[in-house]
Structure 1
Amino acid sequence: MKFNFLKISIAVFPFVLAAVFFISGCKSDKIIDEEKFIMLYTDLVIAQDTSNADYNMMIKIRSQVLDRYKVTDEQYKFTIDYYNENPDRWQVFFEKVTAYVDNLKLEAAKKP
Protein backbone atom coordinates (compact mmCIF):
# COMPACT_ATOMS: atom_id res chain seq x y z
CA MET A 1 0.00 0.00 0.00
CA LYS A 2 2.79 2.41 0.90
CA PHE A 3 4.59 1.62 -2.31
CA ASN A 4 1.57 2.54 -4.47
CA PHE A 5 1.05 5.80 -2.61
CA LEU A 6 4.68 6.71 -3.16
CA LYS A 7 4.48 5.91 -6.88
CA ILE A 8 1.30 7.95 -7.25
CA SER A 9 2.82 10.86 -5.31
CA ILE A 10 5.90 10.86 -7.50
CA ALA A 11 3.76 10.75 -10.63
CA VAL A 12 1.39 13.52 -9.51
CA PHE A 13 3.94 15.90 -7.95
CA PRO A 14 5.21 17.42 -11.24
CA PHE A 15 1.65 18.26 -12.28
CA VAL A 16 0.85 19.88 -8.95
CA LEU A 17 4.08 21.86 -9.09
CA ALA A 18 3.35 23.01 -12.65
CA ALA A 19 -0.16 24.08 -11.63
CA VAL A 20 1.20 26.15 -8.73
CA PHE A 21 3.70 27.93 -10.99
CA PHE A 22 1.03 28.51 -13.63
CA ILE A 23 -1.46 29.97 -11.16
CA SER A 24 1.11 32.19 -9.44
CA GLY A 25 2.43 33.36 -12.82
CA CYS A 26 -1.04 34.32 -14.00
CA LYS A 27 -1.70 36.35 -10.87
CA SER A 28 1.53 38.33 -11.15
CA ASP A 29 0.63 39.29 -14.73
CA LYS A 30 -2.50 40.95 -13.40
CA ILE A 31 -0.74 43.03 -10.75
CA ILE A 32 0.22 46.54 -11.86
CA ASP A 33 3.91 47.44 -11.72
CA GLU A 34 4.56 49.39 -8.51
CA GLU A 35 5.90 52.55 -10.18
CA LYS A 36 2.92 52.71 -12.51
CA PHE A 37 0.53 52.01 -9.63
CA ILE A 38 2.05 54.86 -7.60
CA MET A 39 1.40 57.34 -10.43
CA LEU A 40 -2.04 55.90 -11.21
CA TYR A 41 -3.13 55.92 -7.56
CA THR A 42 -1.90 59.49 -7.08
CA ASP A 43 -3.76 60.70 -10.18
CA LEU A 44 -6.89 58.86 -9.09
CA VAL A 45 -6.88 60.39 -5.60
CA ILE A 46 -6.16 63.90 -6.93
CA ALA A 47 -8.92 63.61 -9.54
CA GLN A 48 -11.43 62.38 -6.98
CA ASP A 49 -10.45 64.95 -4.34
CA THR A 50 -10.64 67.91 -6.71
CA SER A 51 -14.01 66.85 -8.07
CA ASN A 52 -17.40 67.31 -6.48
CA ALA A 53 -18.70 64.49 -8.62
CA ASP A 54 -21.41 62.02 -7.80
CA TYR A 55 -20.88 58.25 -7.78
CA ASN A 56 -21.39 57.85 -11.55
CA MET A 57 -18.89 60.60 -12.28
CA MET A 58 -16.37 58.98 -9.92
CA ILE A 59 -16.69 55.73 -11.90
CA LYS A 60 -16.05 57.69 -15.10
CA ILE A 61 -13.01 59.41 -13.58
CA ARG A 62 -11.59 56.07 -12.47
CA SER A 63 -12.15 54.64 -15.93
CA GLN A 64 -10.35 57.60 -17.53
CA VAL A 65 -7.37 57.30 -15.18
CA LEU A 66 -7.13 53.55 -15.80
CA ASP A 67 -7.29 54.17 -19.56
CA ARG A 68 -4.55 56.79 -19.30
CA TYR A 69 -2.22 54.20 -17.78
CA LYS A 70 -3.47 51.38 -20.03
CA VAL A 71 -4.67 49.36 -17.05
CA THR A 72 -7.79 47.22 -16.98
CA ASP A 73 -10.32 47.25 -14.19
CA GLU A 74 -9.36 43.63 -13.50
CA GLN A 75 -5.68 44.55 -13.09
CA TYR A 76 -6.64 47.39 -10.74
CA LYS A 77 -8.76 45.05 -8.60
CA PHE A 78 -6.05 42.35 -8.53
CA THR A 79 -3.51 44.96 -7.47
CA ILE A 80 -5.73 46.26 -4.67
CA ASP A 81 -6.29 42.67 -3.51
CA TYR A 82 -2.54 42.03 -3.65
CA TYR A 83 -1.83 45.01 -1.38
CA ASN A 84 -4.71 44.07 0.92
CA GLU A 85 -3.11 40.66 1.53
CA ASN A 86 -0.35 42.34 3.55
CA PRO A 87 -0.82 45.70 5.32
CA ASP A 88 2.96 46.26 5.29
CA ARG A 89 2.76 46.52 1.50
CA TRP A 90 0.36 49.43 1.88
CA GLN A 91 2.70 51.12 4.36
CA VAL A 92 5.65 50.96 1.97
CA PHE A 93 3.41 51.93 -0.95
CA PHE A 94 2.03 55.03 0.80
CA GLU A 95 5.54 56.13 1.76
CA LYS A 96 6.46 55.99 -1.93
CA VAL A 97 3.25 57.82 -2.91
CA THR A 98 4.10 60.57 -0.41
CA ALA A 99 7.60 60.89 -1.86
CA TYR A 100 6.14 61.00 -5.39
CA VAL A 101 3.65 63.74 -4.42
CA ASP A 102 6.41 65.74 -2.70
CA ASN A 103 8.45 65.49 -5.89
CA LEU A 104 5.47 66.68 -7.97
CA LYS A 105 5.10 69.69 -5.66
CA LEU A 106 8.79 70.56 -6.04
CA GLU A 107 8.56 70.33 -9.82
CA ALA A 108 5.43 72.49 -9.85
CA ALA A 109 7.11 75.11 -7.65
CA LYS A 110 10.00 75.39 -10.12
CA LYS A 111 7.69 76.26 -13.01
CA PRO A 112 7.00 79.97 -13.58
Structure 2
Amino acid sequence: MIYFGCFILLLVLVSSLVFFLSILFGKKVKLNREKASPFECGFDPNSDFRLPFSLRFFLVTVIFLIFDVEIALLLPASIVFMFSSSFYWFFTIIVFLIILLFGLFFEWKEGALEWAE
Protein backbone atom coordinates (compact mmCIF):
# COMPACT_ATOMS: atom_id res chain seq x y z
CA MET A 1 0.00 0.00 0.00
CA ILE A 2 2.87 2.38 0.74
CA TYR A 3 4.30 1.77 -2.74
CA PHE A 4 1.00 2.80 -4.30
CA GLY A 5 0.95 6.06 -2.30
CA CYS A 6 4.55 6.80 -3.32
CA PHE A 7 3.67 6.05 -6.94
CA ILE A 8 0.69 8.45 -6.87
CA LEU A 9 2.80 11.14 -5.19
CA LEU A 10 5.50 10.70 -7.84
CA LEU A 11 2.92 10.97 -10.63
CA VAL A 12 1.48 14.17 -9.15
CA LEU A 13 4.95 15.70 -8.74
CA VAL A 14 6.07 14.82 -12.27
CA SER A 15 2.85 16.07 -13.87
CA SER A 16 3.00 19.31 -11.83
CA LEU A 17 6.62 19.82 -12.85
CA VAL A 18 5.79 19.32 -16.54
CA PHE A 19 2.79 21.66 -16.23
CA PHE A 20 4.80 24.47 -14.63
CA LEU A 21 7.67 24.03 -17.11
CA SER A 22 5.25 24.33 -20.01
CA ILE A 23 3.81 27.53 -18.51
CA LEU A 24 7.29 28.92 -17.88
CA PHE A 25 8.81 28.10 -21.27
CA GLY A 26 5.67 28.10 -23.38
CA LYS A 27 5.25 30.39 -26.34
CA LYS A 28 3.74 33.64 -25.23
CA VAL A 29 1.04 34.74 -27.66
CA LYS A 30 -0.33 38.22 -27.64
CA LEU A 31 -4.10 37.76 -27.71
CA ASN A 32 -6.17 39.97 -29.89
CA ARG A 33 -9.90 39.99 -30.60
CA GLU A 34 -9.68 37.88 -33.76
CA LYS A 35 -7.56 35.16 -32.19
CA ALA A 36 -9.55 35.05 -28.95
CA SER A 37 -12.97 34.68 -30.58
CA PRO A 38 -14.18 31.40 -32.11
CA PHE A 39 -14.79 31.20 -35.84
CA GLU A 40 -18.36 30.18 -36.58
CA CYS A 41 -19.09 30.03 -40.30
CA GLY A 42 -17.97 33.60 -40.90
CA PHE A 43 -20.19 35.12 -38.22
CA ASP A 44 -18.78 37.26 -35.46
CA PRO A 45 -19.97 35.55 -32.25
CA ASN A 46 -19.60 38.73 -30.21
CA SER A 47 -21.89 40.94 -32.28
CA ASP A 48 -25.63 41.34 -31.85
CA PHE A 49 -26.24 41.60 -35.58
CA ARG A 50 -26.27 37.89 -36.33
CA LEU A 51 -29.20 36.58 -38.29
CA PRO A 52 -31.07 33.72 -36.64
CA PHE A 53 -30.26 30.32 -38.05
CA SER A 54 -32.99 28.91 -40.28
CA LEU A 55 -34.68 25.86 -38.79
CA ARG A 56 -35.28 24.46 -42.28
CA PHE A 57 -31.53 23.99 -42.80
CA PHE A 58 -31.36 22.06 -39.55
CA LEU A 59 -34.33 19.83 -40.47
CA VAL A 60 -32.89 19.03 -43.89
CA THR A 61 -29.58 18.13 -42.24
CA VAL A 62 -31.25 15.83 -39.71
CA ILE A 63 -33.33 14.12 -42.42
CA PHE A 64 -30.20 13.64 -44.54
CA LEU A 65 -28.36 12.09 -41.60
CA ILE A 66 -31.23 9.72 -40.86
CA PHE A 67 -31.36 8.44 -44.43
CA ASP A 68 -27.59 8.33 -44.68
CA VAL A 69 -27.49 6.05 -41.65
CA GLU A 70 -30.27 4.00 -43.21
CA ILE A 71 -28.13 3.31 -46.26
CA ALA A 72 -25.16 2.46 -44.07
CA LEU A 73 -27.31 -0.11 -42.24
CA LEU A 74 -29.02 -1.59 -45.30
CA LEU A 75 -25.95 -2.20 -47.44
CA PRO A 76 -24.34 -4.74 -45.07
CA ALA A 77 -27.72 -6.45 -44.67
CA SER A 78 -27.23 -8.21 -48.01
CA ILE A 79 -24.06 -9.81 -46.68
CA VAL A 80 -25.80 -10.88 -43.46
CA PHE A 81 -28.52 -12.50 -45.59
CA MET A 82 -26.10 -15.28 -46.59
CA PHE A 83 -25.36 -16.20 -42.96
CA SER A 84 -28.80 -16.00 -41.35
CA SER A 85 -32.28 -17.32 -41.74
CA SER A 86 -34.07 -15.65 -44.63
CA PHE A 87 -37.29 -15.19 -42.59
CA TYR A 88 -35.56 -13.26 -39.79
CA TRP A 89 -33.53 -11.22 -42.24
CA PHE A 90 -36.61 -10.32 -44.28
CA PHE A 91 -38.66 -9.50 -41.18
CA THR A 92 -35.91 -7.27 -39.74
CA ILE A 93 -35.40 -5.35 -42.99
CA ILE A 94 -39.15 -4.87 -43.53
CA VAL A 95 -39.66 -3.58 -39.97
CA PHE A 96 -36.69 -1.23 -40.39
CA LEU A 97 -38.03 0.14 -43.68
CA ILE A 98 -41.56 0.54 -42.29
CA ILE A 99 -40.23 2.60 -39.37
CA LEU A 100 -38.30 4.79 -41.81
CA LEU A 101 -41.31 5.21 -44.07
CA PHE A 102 -43.52 6.21 -41.14
CA GLY A 103 -40.90 8.80 -40.18
CA LEU A 104 -40.74 10.09 -43.74
CA PHE A 105 -44.53 10.38 -43.99
CA PHE A 106 -44.62 12.15 -40.62
CA GLU A 107 -42.02 14.69 -41.79
CA TRP A 108 -43.96 15.14 -45.02
CA LYS A 109 -47.20 15.70 -43.11
CA GLU A 110 -45.54 18.22 -40.77
CA GLY A 111 -44.22 20.18 -43.77
CA ALA A 112 -40.52 19.72 -43.05
CA LEU A 113 -39.89 18.64 -46.64
CA GLU A 114 -41.52 21.73 -48.20
CA TRP A 115 -38.80 24.27 -48.80
CA ALA A 116 -40.88 27.10 -50.29
CA GLU A 117 -44.40 27.91 -49.20
Q: Provide the TM-score with structure 2 as the length reference.
A: 0.25
Specify which structure has the higher proportion of helix.
1
Larger Cα Rg: Structure 1 or Structure 2?
A: 2
Q: Provide the TM-score with structure 1 as the length reference.
A: 0.26
